[in-house]
A and B are shown apart, each in its own frame.
Chain A
Amino acid sequence: MTTATTAISLMDACCSRCTHSPQTPCAQYLDCRAHGPLCHTDPACTAALNARRDAAMHIATRPIIYVGAGTCGLAAGMDQVIPAMQKALTEHGLDVMVKEVGCFGLCHREPMLDVKKPGRPRVCFDHVDVKKALAIVTRYLVNDEVPADLSMGIIATPDAAPDSPEFALPNLYDLPVLVRQRRIVLQNCGLIDPDALDEYVARGGYGALAKALAAGDNGEMVLNEVLKAGLRGRGGGGFPTGRKWQLTRAQQNTPKYLVCNADEGDPGAFMDRSVLEGDPHRVIEGMLLGALAIGADHGYIYCRAEYPLAIKRLLHSIEELEGRGLLGDNILGSGFSFHLKVKQGAGAFVCGEETALLASIEGKRGMPRVRPPYPAQSGLWGQPTCINNVETFANVAAIVDHGGAAFASVGTERSKGTKVFALTGTIKLGGLVEVPMGMTLREVVFDVGGGILDDRPFKAVQIGGPSGGCLPTAMLDTLVDYDSLIAAGAMMGSGGLVVMDDKTCMVDLARFFMEFIRNESCGKCIPCREGTTRMLEILERIVRPYRDEDTEATLQRFKSVIMLEELAQVIRDTSLCGLGQTAPNPVLSTLRYFRDEYEKHVFERTCPAGACRSLLTFTVNAEKCKGCTLCARNCPAGAIWGASKQTHVIDQAKCVHCGVCMDVCRFDAVLAQ
């Protein structure tokens, strides 16, 4: 979105000699916009297209301000910065273009804002509040002084003069968090206006589509390159994408459908959303290539309803593509047709599972069904259907552009390319990172992620969400690739990577995931529906204090670890879909690596991490207590005694272990052990 009325787009005709329209498609349309005009040599047209290409590449005659308006940027306060800055720009009478861009991935530095002056590199600023934004406007735009103390670095641009004073600043991509990343999927994220088709096209976008259509082989080239690339599904399972496409392509039955899984259910992951918000055309181009390869002429993007911005961007992009004849019938005169629709999810984790997702698109309850038949044979309305994840599709254009072999040169023996992770938890440099497969977890957490917040000790990293596992320090040298992670008892998953310090309790974390799964089980099969409820009960029993236990419950508690393992086995072996089959993983992996912590809870009745409050003893430190009475007034059990200005005391017999006293005390006088 731009604040000024958008100028003529690069995608428009240069003059009336251009014949391209959705009704009369020109095969050279994209090539013409990238390098043309091709069908005539009018200097005026060449000049016009060059100017539009420059504009799409952000080579402008006036400064551009880029505001990070992804969800994380807005949440961190950008929504307040934008109007204040607009006001300042008007007051100074500055003619500046303000562009909203998606998430660049440096969420820990949000809100972020970049400024690019004509003929200069792009200067990036982090933690921008209103005051800082105003300082940037005055110092950089009005006084033309490079505010080195406010900036975090620069991004080179094609038009930057080599002697620009900004080059004294460090290159953004040399920051430790970025220098080890390899950006294929995230290449444009945070850099371009996601709502502008011409910005994507000017950077080579839809070039892969044009190439594939020009090959005139019904997508055989695309399929071969994807096979050669060794691309595996990024949605969790890691099934080879080329093989899936081959299977669907081989089906005789038509019509065929192509579906993009943008349900992103892992509660703690947002890679797919950021890509859809920041570079939607990359995903759509991947889908077009996939549709060509399998012979589908209809497609759906099934997107979580919780992602309204992503949905808005997708709908806008689809509309623009249809208007240009790049979606719809007879694309670029090739005879290939593809119609794309967005379907909103309705908030059910299980709908990420492919057969449940298809049921949901058909308007039914999202319940998985038995496979085979696989969707490739019988999917939407019984027709051959291919389902892939957002990030899987986002890799395809690069594969077709640069060849499968180039893609396969990155990564490990059996896991090729890169993987995007949402790096969160108690980590210093949290955000979105894209790293080559085969990096170790240690490198991801400590080199890219900068280590643990407040320099506390590392305890574990949870990878793969509710289907994945927790890996301890000893496993930090595990490679990030599909097979190594499975061998370690975790899984690649969709890309959630939650880092935890010593204050996180592993029993509590297992309980968290089990509660999530219990709530999200579709209820179709008994082991999953009842088994997860039982496992959750056992985990809750482990953290229940003595006094709420009768002898029977105490006995049960002693058996809990054994029962957890037994139940896990049954649920894993007898559940219908992936949700149930992997549901026990968080418990199994924590039992494998943090068994002592379970034992401490079960037998010693303590929580070493100090997280399970029901097992803690709360006391008042007489030296710190100022007798402010705040805790006594807030204690729901009336368990705190003490007069004003005198040390307070907690009556352990009455205490219900809620920890409110510790939360409210302003002097850190309440201790928990």
Chain B
Amino acid sequence: MSTQLCSCTQEKLREILAPFPAGRREMLIPVLQAVQETFGYLPEVTLDTIGAHIGVSPAKVYGVATFYNQFRLQPVGKHIVRVCRGTACHVRGSKLLLDAVGDALGVKPGETTPDGAFTLETVACLGACSIAPVVTVDGNFHGAVQTRGVGKMLDTYREKE
């Protein structure tokens, strides 16, 4: 694991860690959430410092960071596209929809387009099952999305650059 930490990242990290009491294991997940909130992902170089603050080994931090779906160790794109793969959406065709979005972006779920514009993710039930199948882009809901409408939906965000 690389331990190079540039001074501005270090500075930011210190700010994030400050409100969390040191040496408290139960703060690990909230700390990781706060770091991801700021950086958009968990830069690998931050894990050592986090571990030192919490009082656990970097391996333990890594273990927790990779166990939970929420945490990403890679930076994300500008826009985050989430296709719901909950049961209600599945019954209304979300698998084909996911394939269509993946094809349109040229990536698989969990990946980011090479130009860094979009990250594709799946999610289990967004609680809007009555307008299934549901896709959110940057948190905006799109209901009853049809495979043939995918291109248009993505274009509106692409233009927002």
Contacts and interface: CB of A to CB of B under 8 A. Distances in A.
Contacts of B141: 74-76
B20 to A, nearest CB: 11
A504 B91 CA distance: 7
Interface residues of B, number: 43
A301 interface: no
Given A72-B131, A663-B147, A363 B126 contact: no
B117 to A, nearest CB: 23
Contact of B129 (A346, A430, A516, A522): A430
A346 B87 contact: no
Interface stretch (A171-179, A419-427, A563-571): A419-427
Interface in A64-118: 71-72, 74-76, 107-108, 110
A431 interface: yes
A343 B63 CA distance: 19
Q: Which of B28, B71, B100, B131 has the most CB of A within 10 A?
A: B131
Interface string B4-34: 0000000000000000000011111110110
A269 B33 contact: no
B126 A306 contact: yes
B96 A270 contact: no
B128 A465 contact: no
Contact of B90 (A107, A273, A364, A512): A512
Given A267-B86, A268-B129, A663 B64 contact: no
A270 B127 contact: yes
B123 interface: yes
Contact of A424 (B70, B85, B132): B132
A424 B64 contact: no
Nearest to B127: A270
Interface residues of A, number: 53
A554 to B, nearest CB: 25
B160 interface: no
B127 A365 contact: no
Contact of A347 (B26, B69, B127): B69
A462 B70 CA distance: 27
A267 B27 contact: no
A107 B96 contact: no
B26 A363 contact: yes
Nearest to B130: A107
Interface of B: 24-30, 32-33, 54, 63-64, 67-71, 85-92, 95-96, 100, 123-132, 134, 141, 143, 147-148
Interface of A: 71-72, 74-76, 107-108, 110, 265-270, 273-274, 305-307, 343-349, 360-366, 422, 424-426, 430-431, 462, 465, 496, 498, 500, 504, 509, 512-513, 516, 522, 659, 663-664
